[in-house]
Structures are given as C-alpha cells and as structure tokens.
Amino acid sequence: MITLPLLPYEFTELEPIIDAQTVEIHYTKHHQWYVNKLNELIADTGFKDRELKEIIKTADWAIFNNAAQTWNHTFYRQGLQSPKENNEPRWALYDAIIAQRWNFQTFVETMTASAVANFWSGRTRLVKNPDNTLEIINTSNAWCPLTMEKIPLLTIDIREHAYYLNYQNRRIEYVSNIRKCINRDKVLKRYGG
C-alpha cells in the first residue's frame, strides 16, 4: 500500500510565494486523490507490495498514471522550503550550471522560459543525464524522469492547481517567484554534491 508522505513543511511555510490554501488543497485533495486511486487500482494486483518507483517503471497506463502523479507530487513538495532571497544553488551544482549554461542568470532565464512555454499541464525539470550533463526538460501529465533514465534534481509544477489561486493566469510571475522556495540543499544532495 502506498501512503501519502508527510508534508515537509506547514501549509503556511511557503507564503507569500504559495498561499496556505493552495498548499493545503494541492496536498490534501490532489495529491491524496492520486494516492487513493493508485491503492484502489493495485489492491488485487502484483503491484500492491511494490515500491512506487518500480510500479512507475513497469505498470500499464492507468496504474502508471496514478503512480507517477503520486511520485511527481511528492518529489515537487520535497524540493521546496520557506522562501529565501538570492536562493542560488550551492557548490558542485552551481559549478555544473556555470559550466553548462555559462552563467547563473542564463540558466534562470532558460528555466523560466521553458516553464512559461510548457503548453501542457505538467512540470519543468532540471535533470542530470547519465553522462552528468544537466538538461532542462518539460514533461506533461504524469510523465516523469524515472521513465527516461534521467536523475531528477528539481521540479517546477506548472499544473494550474499548483498556483492558480494566487497567480491566476500569471504563470511567469509564479515561475519567477517559486525559485525562492527551491530547497537548494535538497537539490544539491540529489545532484550528488
């Protein structure tokens, strides 16, 4: 059985970037729904005792969709923290970004443009490829880096329920602000630094 992971912060902790009501609804309604639906779908299958990542890599569409959405929401939440100004990545990851994107501002602009232009309901991600290069990718719906042999480092959730109460159709404002909530220590750990 898959359980809803504990939220790593209080509902109010991401304010003013993301309001408490949005965090609460996104977590207790959307995220919980995927967990509940996944458990319903796997109840009488060989998947019921498997790890979430294994389910994602081997399941058919209906089970995959709910498993991947459960994982996507968890990964996104675990990568956030209270807002911080000048929230740049640290050490090894910063050096990797500089090496690949020439300067940090270019990276920020590229990531922001990618997220704003992501037409589908999905996420914009920074991933590490098997050759250790960094890549910004857009995924739609339930797709996630686990199905692509990429190591996910951070995610910007651009599904409207992640930001619409605060920002309505101002996606660029949300994307620009959410960077302040990225847990840079968590991203560095994921990178391997």
Tell me: the pLDDT tens digits for 175-190? Answer: 999 999 999 989 999 9
**Residues of CATH 1.10.287.990 domain(s) within the chain?**
20-78
**Residue intervals in the chain for CATH 3.55.40.20:** 91-191
**Neighbouring C-alpha atoms within 13 Å toward the C-beta of 181:** 26
Grouping H, G, I as helix, E, B as strand and the rest as coil, residue 154 is strand
Residue 126: pLDDT band with limits 50, 70, 90? very high
Q: Say whether pLDDT at 114 is over 90.
A: yes
> In the predicted model, what is the mean pLDDT of the chain?
93
CA angle 79, 84, 87 (to 5 degrees): 70
Q: What is the rounded distance in angstroms from the CA atom of residue 77 to the CA atom of residue 35?
A: 15
Contacts of 174 (CB under 8 A, 6+ apart): 158, 162, 163, 166, 167
Average pLDDT estimate for 102-122 = 88
pTM value is 0.93
Domain 20-78: homologous superfamily in CATH? Fe,Mn superoxide dismutase (SOD) domain (1.10.287.990)
Architecture per CATH, domain 91-191, reads as 3-Layer(bab) Sandwich (3.55)
